[in-house]
Amino acid sequence: LGKDSEQVAKYRANELLHARWAMLAAAGIIIPEGLQANGADIRGGTWFETGAEMLNGGTLNYFAVPWTIVSNPLPLFLVT
C-alpha cells in the first residue's frame, strides 16, 4: 500500500478531498442546529428533518434569506 510513492500521493490527495467534504457536511449540520437552538426560525433545522421538508411540499430557505428559496436544490450542486 505504501511502497509506491506516486500511489501514496494519490491516496493522500483523495483523503484531503474527502476530509474537506466531511468538514463541509459537519458545518452544514452543526450551524443550522445551533441557530435553531438559539431561537432562529429554520424549517428543517436538524439534518434529518431537511428531507422531510422537501417531501411535505415545503421549500428550503438557504441562509435565512427569502430570495434564496429553492424548490429543487440540485442545481446548487454546480456551485460546490
**Residue bearing cell 505504501:** 2
Whole-angstrom Cα distance, residue 45 to residue 33? 5
The one-letter code for the residue type at 35 is L
Cβ-based neighbour number of residue 79 at 10 Å: 5
Answer yes or no: is 18 a known binding residue.
yes
- Residues that constitute the known binding site for chlorophyll b: 20
Which segments are annotated as binding site for chlorophyll a? Answer: 15, 18
Binding site per annotation, positions: 15, 18, 20
